């Protein structure tokens, strides 16, 4: 069974930085691209970033480009999201998600974690 | 950038009734459209991908149709556990990877 467990969400001050992690299990991690998606409480879903199976290619939404960095460690079956220059608008529940494709990014988000909550507040 | 518009915002139906949810794309996305279900306090779950393919483990009462700019998610006979918000998402033109604003399905 696919398991994705996010961690690292905390309360952080505006302008601060935070690193989120996602521990993956139940599948061959380096077979699949991975994604980060966030959701403001009571609102819709916002895709943030994706990374290819080998980490060689990354994609970002304009809203986070230059501030957030997605990375992965295939030896450790983990995904990360480094977030810098955080503002109140970044307060949300952050999900990691597994892409459906095998060795190709299909942009179909097949499995999701439970999310980790980030609050940006002074 | 593709914009996805979902309608209606809320759908209130009784168990056993048929639910029809709409997703309209601002430009042609061929059949590269997915549907996700999100129940309160849970992460989204993939229901349908590429317009009409059910994801693993999804009951046959869920079906998707459409191509180009107009898509439909149909729940043929509503069950109480189908109460959720449903989102569409396109993968024809990315990044970004936009989601629709969602349709809330309420079971009376």
Task: DSSP for A101-116, please give it.
Answer: SSSS----EEEE---E
Over residues B76-93, the pLDDT tens digits come to 999 999 999 999 999 998
pLDDT at A69: 98
From the CA atom positions of chain B, what is the Rg in Å? 13
Average pLDDT taken over every residue of chain A: 97
Contact residues on chain B for A70, CB-CB shorter than 8 A: none
**Residue contact A60–B95, C-beta within 8 A:** yes
**B residues 1-60 lying closer than 8 A (beta carbon) to A:** 34, 36, 38, 42-46, 49-50, 55
For residues B88 and B100, is the Cβ–Cβ distance under 8 A? yes
Cis peptide bond N-terminal to B85, omega within 30? no
In chain B, % of residues over pLDDT 90:
95
- Give the count of beta carbons closer than 10 Å to the beta carbon of residue B47: 24
Number of H helices, E strands in chain A: 0, 11
Above pLDDT 70, what percent of chain B? 100
Q: In Å, what is the CA distance from A94 to each residue of A38, A119, B17, B49?
A: 4, 11, 34, 22
Note whether A112 contacts B45, CB cutoff 8 Å: yes
């Amino acid at each position: 069974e696919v398991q994705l467990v996010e961690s690292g969400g905390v309360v952080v001050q505006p302008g601060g930085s935070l690193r989120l992690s996602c521990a993956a299990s139940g599948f061959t991690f380096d077979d699949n691209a991975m994604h980060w998606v966030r959701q403001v409480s009571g609102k819709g879903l916002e895709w943030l970033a994706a990374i290819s199976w080998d980490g060689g290619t990354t994609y970002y939404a304009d809203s986070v480009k230059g501030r957030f960095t997605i990375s992965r460690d295939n030896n450790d079956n983990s995904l990360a999201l480094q977030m810098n220059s955080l503002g109140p608008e970044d307060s949300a529940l952050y999900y990691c998600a597994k892409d459906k494709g095998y060795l190709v990014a299909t942009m179909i988000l097949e499995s999701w974690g439970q999310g980790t909550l980030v609050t940006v507040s002074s | 950038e593709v914009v996805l518009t979902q309608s209606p915002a809320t759908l209130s139906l009784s168990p056993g009734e048929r639910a029809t949810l709409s997703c309209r794309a601002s430009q042609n996305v061929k059949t590269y459209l997915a549907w996700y279900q999100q129940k309160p306090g849970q992460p989204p779950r993939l229901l349908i991908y590429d317009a009409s393919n059910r994801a693993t483990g999804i009951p046959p009462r869920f079906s998707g149709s459409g191509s180009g700019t107009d898509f439909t998610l149909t729940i043929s006979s509503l069950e109480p556990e189908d109460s959720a918000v449903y989102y569409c998402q396109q993968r024809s033109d990315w990044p970004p990877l936009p989601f629709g604003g969602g349709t809330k399905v309420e079971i009376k």
